Structure formats: structure tokens, C-alpha cells
Amino acid sequence: MLIVQKYGGTSVGTLDRIEAVANRVIQSVKEGNKVVVVVSAMSGVTNTLIEQAQYFSKNPNAKDMDMLLSSGERVSSALLSIALNEKGYLAVSFSGRKAGIVTDSMFTKARIHYIDTKAIKTELQKGKIVVIAGFQGVDEQGDVTTLGRGGSDLSAVALAGALDADLCEIYTDVDGVYTTDPRIEPKAKKLDKISYEEMLELASLGAKVLQNRSVELAKKLNVNLVTRSSFNNNEGTMITKEDGMEQALVSGIALDKNQARVTLRNVEDRPGIAAEIFAVLASENINVDMIIQNVGVDGATNLGFTVPQNELDLAKNAMQKILNSKTTIESDNAVVKVSIVGVGMKSHSGVAAKAFKALADEGINIGMISTSEIKISMIVHEKYGELAVRALHECYGLDK
């Protein structure tokens, strides 16, 4: 098999951790695989570089930042290659450029245009392990770019797609994707498989395993992703196409504590009013999540939505500017969002009703509800957050 393995910052956080990564790579080679490795910077390095830049400037220019930030992954890729060579396995370290990763010129948040895999394939054919600095590429002008948050995962997925790899393994410090946060519900179970769509919902709901951008790309390129821990030998979670899987009704429960609820009362009920409101929020770069609007009465309506807690004041100030005097703004920071995710719910009715009953049985009031094909999200008082997660986890039998 051709496998792309990606190791995150904690997995290469110390020299002896890099040594352990080398042994893991070698294990995979011994099993007969060709291996391409993508590494992040050693944990802490990128933050130190950012702090150094901020000594000089609150807003350092993006092109210099990419020259700066790209250095961390170069170091870890070189060190891993040195370790592999020392252990008698031919390896070579590649920068993003040498790996053929060409991006646009949006420095610090570049998007991959294409990957010219020629150099990688040449080294693989020589029997070498190719160790690639993640998180970086070059633009058409030959300037170094970085891919933004989660960029190393993205490098790995894009490379797996371009190389038509059999598998893309993302190594982190957690075992995989769980039915819910094990710190909240100790009965949470690791999922063996999950669909791209479910993973996307879970990631956007706060599961820290993978960034949405990487899952989206994996879905687009049909890359079989496995997320697993580099600190043990447990099997991870396979993230792959939906069909062919045994369909669980519900795959997981997520809790997002970073939401604030906003309710606008007596909003003028005319076409375009919602667009105006959300346009002003967008212009302030506020991430609006759930949006609820009921049918209006007497030319006025109520509008509810959620924003990240630290953007609440900004959101309220922005809306003051455009709302008329009749409209009142209410907000509540003391809320959390609990979500149920599952491909299975597409074809099953009653999933939502079951959730509402489970919460009602615990005396939990639901403030807002929003649903998609494979997700139901509910806003509840923050004091009930963990209880709601456990109740839902049990009612769908996820601990079985």
C-alpha cells in the first residue's frame, strides 16, 4: 500500500517523540508499505515564532510571516529524515516546494492549486521514505506560502489525493473520533468508521480531531482518512465514503460551550431584512451559527441566532447601527449547543422526537432548535450541557 502518514505537533514535540515517530514509520515500511510522511512543527515552535514577529509588529506582513512560519516544519522534517537514515532506512526531507505543492498567493492562508508529485514519485521509486514539511507550499512566483490553521492535515490529504494513496493516516494525541467527549461521558465509544459528512458536522461542532477543510478535501478527493494516536497502537477511526457502511442511526453527540444566543424582537417583517442583518454581521467577520426565524405576526417577527461568545458585544454593536428603535436585542451568554450527528437520521423519522423526550425527561428546557439532514442542534442552559450530552448518548444507545 501507499500510505501518507501525518504527525502533528505533539507527536513530534520532543526529540524522543520524533524517534518514536521514526520507529512507527519503519514499522509501516516493514509491513510492506511505501510511506510518505508529513510533519508539523514541533509543538510550541510556531507559537514562539508568532510571538517573535509580534515583538516587532501587531500586524506583521503576511509574506514575511510565511517565510518565518514555514521554518518550523522544515526543522522537524529534516530531523525525522536524519533519524530514519540513521536507523538504516533511506529517507529524504522535502520542503513544501520540493514536494511540488503549488498554492495561490494568499499568504498565511493559501489554498493549494495543484501538486506536482514527480519529485516524490522519483524518490519513492528509489525505495526512499519521503518526509515532507507540512503546512506550506509555494505560489506561482516561487514565494513560500503557508496554508493556515490545520495546514499540515491539509498537506497530507492533498498529497494522498495527488499520489492516489491507499490511506492517509492522521496521527494526533487522541485515539480517534468518539461518540461524544469522553471527559463528559466516560461511556463514550471510539467509532471505527464515520462518513465524511458526519465528520464535517462533528468537526464544526467542536470535535478537535480534524479541521473541516481537511475533511472536505478528503471527501472531494476520495481519500480514505484514518485518525489515530501516535502515543499507542490502538486502531483509529476511518473517515470515508458513506455508502457501504453499516448505518448507525446516530454517530455522535457534540457539545459546544462557546455559543451565545441573540434574539431580536419586533424585527420589521419585510423582504431583505434578514439579509441586511447578516450582511452587517458578516462585514464584521462574526461567525453566525444557528439562525431561527418564525413566521411573523402584524408586520413584525422575531429572529434568533447564535454567535461565538467573544464576538457577542461586537455583534450587538453592529446591529444597533441598522435596527430601528422598535426592535429590542436580547442576548444570553449562559448557553451551550448540544448536537446529534448521524447519517442514519436521514432515513429515519423520530430521531428528533427521541432527543426532545430525553431532554424533557431530565427537565432540560430547549431554547433553540435547528436541524439539517444529518444533524440536530439544540441550545440549552449551560448548566445542563453535560447532562444533556449524557442523556442523548444513552437514548441512542451509543454506549452499546
Footprint of its own copies (CB under 8 A): 15, 18-19, 22, 49, 52-53, 55-57, 60-61, 63-65, 67-68, 70-72, 74-75, 77-79, 81-83, 85-86, 91-93, 95, 97-98, 142-144
CB nearer to its own copies: give 86 or 192: 86
What minimum distance in Å lies between the beta carbon of 78 and its own copies? 4
Under DSSP, is residue 380 helix (H, G, I), strand (E, B) or coil? strand
CB nearer to its own copies: give 19 or 166: 19
CB nearer to its own copies: give 18 or 158: 18
CB atoms within 10 A of CB 88: 7
CB nearer to its own copies: give 70 or 195: 70
CB nearer to its own copies: give 99 or 318: 99
Give the strand pairing for 237-240 and 291-293: unpaired
Q: How far apart are CA 375 and CA 389, in angstroms?
A: 14
Q: How many helices (H) and strands (E) does the chain have?
A: 11, 20
Q: How far apart are CA 137 and CA 95, in angstroms?
A: 8
> Cell 509588529, residue?
57
What minimum distance in Å lies between the beta carbon of 211 and its own copies? 25
In the Cβ-directed half-sphere of 36, how many Cα atoms lie within 13 Å? 33
Q: How far apart are CA 301 and CA 299, in angstroms?
A: 7
CB nearer to its own copies: give 64 or 394: 64
What minimum distance in Å lies between the beta carbon of 152 and its own copies? 16
What minimum distance in Å lies between the beta carbon of 57 and its own copies? 4
String of b and e for 215-231 (b: at least 16 CB within 10 Å)?
bbbbbeeebebbbbbbe
What minimum distance in Å lies between the beta carbon of 163 and its own copies? 19
CB nearer to its own copies: give 63 or 316: 63
What minimum distance in Å lies between the beta carbon of 149 and its own copies? 19
DSSP-derived secondary structure for 24-45: HHHHHHHTT-EEEEEE-PPTTH
Output the nine-digit C-alpha cell for 188.
Answer: 463514550
**Which value, in Å, is the radius of gyration of the alpha carbons in the chain?**
23
Under DSSP, is residue 166 helix (H, G, I), strand (E, B) or coil? coil
What minimum distance in Å lies between the beta carbon of 26 and its own copies? 13
What minimum distance in Å lies between the beta carbon of 68 and its own copies? 4
Residue pair 91/106 in contact by the 8 Å Cβ criterion: no
CB atoms within 10 A of CB 132: 30
CB nearer to its own copies: give 43 or 81: 81
Q: How far apart are CA 148 and CA 109, in angstroms?
A: 4
Residue pair 374/341 in contact by the 8 Å Cβ criterion: yes
- Quick one: which H or E segment has residue 84? helix 62-86
CB nearer to its own copies: give 57 or 222: 57
What minimum distance in Å lies between the beta carbon of 91 and its own copies? 8
Q: How far apart are CA 318 and CA 271, in angstroms?
A: 20
